[in-house]
Amino acid sequence: MSLFEELNKKIVFVVGGASGIGAAIVETFRNEGAVVVNADYLYENRQLVASQENYWQVHLDVANEATVEQVVSQLVEHSLVPDIFVEVAGISTMDFLTESQTNDFDRVFAVNTRGVYLTSKLIVREMQKQHKKGRVIIIASQAGKNPYRGMSAYVASKHAVIGLTKTLALEVAKDQILVNAVCPGIIETKMKHTEREIGGQLRNMTAEEVLAEDISQVPIGRTGQPQDVANVVLFLASPLASYMTGQAINVTGGMTMH
């Protein structure tokens, strides 16, 4: 059921929409009747493919500037410059800082921070050219506000993402492009399950024990689902959020309150 008729036929570009939070966001906008372009590293097709009506897919490596440029050029060519851009792509590694590998640190920053920089720069540039008074919504993390053991690279990358979000919001406010971040807490995705396994090994705990610890830290008593995040993204894309920019909105069940 559509909640916002204003989003019908709007062009939504989702980066990292193949699984987890991204997949929930894609489905949410499709339910609103939007034209959705879903770009993800997992897709093989290097050219935009319309697999269903008003739904496109394309391969995108957000850390590779030439690849990002190619995809943005295709958006322009197909008249698919977005009204709403949602950047979800992200990875994590787990190790204590003093024992971590520099290559892992660089890889996390390449996707989580450089990826946000490259995609936002090139997409927003096209939005400005077409005078689109649109929305940019970047998936950060509560790790952009708090430290977590064994996640130095991820924490640092998400702090940087929030900084990029605020700076971009300030710079493009004059164009009526609103830029906000969403900071999920503990969301049940494949990546989170992997983190529990690896993080548990680092701390001599089972994944089940880590899950119990996770739940104990959330005031409302449960971890989140991808749809919990997608709902907030939808709100930020809607007319209800027309006086919001430069914000980092928590979706954490009360775990983070600042």
Tens digit of each residue's pLDDT (9 = 90 or more) over 6-37? 999 999 999 999 999 999 999 999 999 999 99
Please write down the HEC assignment for all residues of the chain: CCCCHHHCCCEEEEECCCCHHHHHHHHHHHHCCCEEEEEECCCCCCCCEEEECCEEEEECCCCCHHHHHHHHHHHHHCCCCCCEEEECCCCCCCECHHHCCHHHHHHHHHHHHHHHHHHHHHHHHHHHHCCCCCEEEEECCHHHCCCCCCEHHHHHHHHHHHHHHHHHHHHHHHHCCEEEEEEECCECCHHHHHHHHHHHHHCCCCHHHHHHHHHHCCCCCCCECHHHHHHHHHHHHCHHHCCCCCCEEEECCCCCCC
* pLDDT at 51 exceeding the cut of 90: no
Residue 242, pLDDT score:
98
Catalytic residue positions? 154
* pLDDT at 132 exceeding the cut of 90: yes
Tens digit of each residue's pLDDT (9 = 90 or more) over 68-105? 999 999 999 999 999 999 999 999 999 999 999 999 99
Residue 186, pLDDT score:
98
* pLDDT at 134 exceeding the cut of 90: yes
Given CATH 3.40.50.720, say whether it is the number of domain 5-185+225-250: yes
Predicted TM-score (pTM) of the model is 0.97
Mean pLDDT of 126-152: 97
Q: Name the residue ranges covered by the structural domains of the chain.
A: 5-185+225-250
